[in-house]
Amino acid sequence: MANIKISNLPSYTGTAADLRWFVMNNSGQTETFKFSGYSTSITYGAGTDSIKSVNAVGAAGTNGIAIGKGSSAAGNDSVSIGDITGNNLGAGSINIGKHYQVAGNYAIAIGFGAFVSGSDSISIGRETAAYNGGIVLGGNTSRATGLHSIVIGNSNERNLGSGYSSIMGYGNKVGDAPNYNPGPYNNIIASNSVINGDNSAIGYNNIFGGTGNIISGTTSGATLLGMSNYIPTRNDATFAMAYVMTNYALYDFLNDTAAAAGGVVLGQMYHTGGVMKIRIS
């Protein structure tokens, strides 16, 4: 049977795990060799229909996949791939990269140093962390630690408070020293800005655009539009550099009655020959 081409050999119907040796032709198909000692680094895990690499901690969950140094797929239908320090504990969770832990059902951590704690949390990027249903997409120490908070961008150090807050941009913080305790529903779309508070009852603050803005103390319900290096002075107010009514020609009315007929609602601005007014009746 020496020097028979592979194409002329009978077919093998077993599995790779059953192989102890196999035959191969050289590149010129002039000689045939027997190759022995086949082995695989992938084995069955402890869970039903699970698989693991030999250097993984284990794949205890049903349909789990654990590949890489220290990786673990403890939850059912979970996937853990990479150099993992902690465990992949939740059902349906995904853990990819060199990082610490995924703890929670249907949680996702992808990237170097990514960390997740809490079901339905997602952390994607370098040195990111998501807790309590939070979502992080970015890198460089970005955090979403408040309940159902969202962070998109780099170097957004924390998103604390009672939750339901969002950050988009660079170098922003919801929650800062010494209080770290703003209320819920805060939003930042800017750079290097901070929303803070003295207690978790203070919230509903917003910063859109600009840089270096700060909302702190007992301020609540403040909104900054396009401001820079600004600290608001009262609650429940909107602060902007200037207001421009580009469609002013459509809002020239003699009085409130005419403005109402023209579709201006109570509290809305209009003008009479350039004199700014607000409809109050």
Domains in the chain, number? 3
Chain-centroid distance, C-alpha 92: 17
In a domain, 229, yes or no: yes
Q: Both 17 and 154 in a single domain?
A: no
Average pLDDT over residues 40-45: 83
Taking the C-alpha atoms of residue 17 and residue 251, their distance in angstroms, rounded to an integer, is 80
Higher pLDDT, 262 or 61: 262
Q: Both 236 and 271 in a single domain?
A: no
Q: Both 102 and 127 in a single domain?
A: yes
Q: Look at residues 106, 103, 137 and name the one whose alpha carbon lies nearest to residue 120.
A: 106
In a domain, 100, yes or no: yes
Q: Both 156 and 265 in a single domain?
A: no
Residue 278 has pLDDT above 60, yes or no: yes
pLDDT per position as a tens digit, 224-261? 999 999 999 899 999 998 888 899 999 999 999 999 99
Q: Both 206 and 72 in a single domain?
A: yes
Give the per-residue pLDDT at 20: 56
Residue 13 has pLDDT above 80, yes or no: no
In a domain, 42, yes or no: no
Alpha helices (H) in the chain, listed in sequence order: 256-261
pLDDT per position as a tens digit, 165-220? 999 999 999 987 766 678 889 999 999 999 987 777 778 999 999 999 999 888 99
Q: Tell me if 111 sits within 8 A of 98, measured CB to CB.
A: no
100 falls in which pLDDT band (50, 70, 90)?
low
Q: Both 81 and 143 in a single domain?
A: yes
Q: Both 198 and 85 in a single domain?
A: yes
Q: Both 77 and 212 in a single domain?
A: yes
Q: Both 214 and 262 in a single domain?
A: no
Taking the C-alpha atoms of residue 19 and residue 112, their distance in angstroms, rounded to an integer, is 37
CATH of the domain at 191: 2.150.10
In a domain, 1, yes or no: no
Taking the C-alpha atoms of residue 148 and residue 172, their distance in angstroms, rounded to an integer, is 17
In a domain, 93, yes or no: yes
Q: Both 202 and 268 in a single domain?
A: no
Chain-centroid distance, C-alpha 187: 16
Q: Which of 29-33, 99-103, 136-140 has the lowest mean pLDDT?
A: 29-33
Q: Look at residues 245, 211, 235, 96 and name the one whose alpha carbon lies nearest to residue 223.
A: 235
pTM of the predicted protein model: 0.78
Q: Both 110 and 216 in a single domain?
A: yes
Q: Both 64 and 15 in a single domain?
A: no
Taking the C-alpha atoms of residue 261 and residue 276, their distance in angstroms, rounded to an integer, is 18
Enclosing domain of residue 110: 47-240
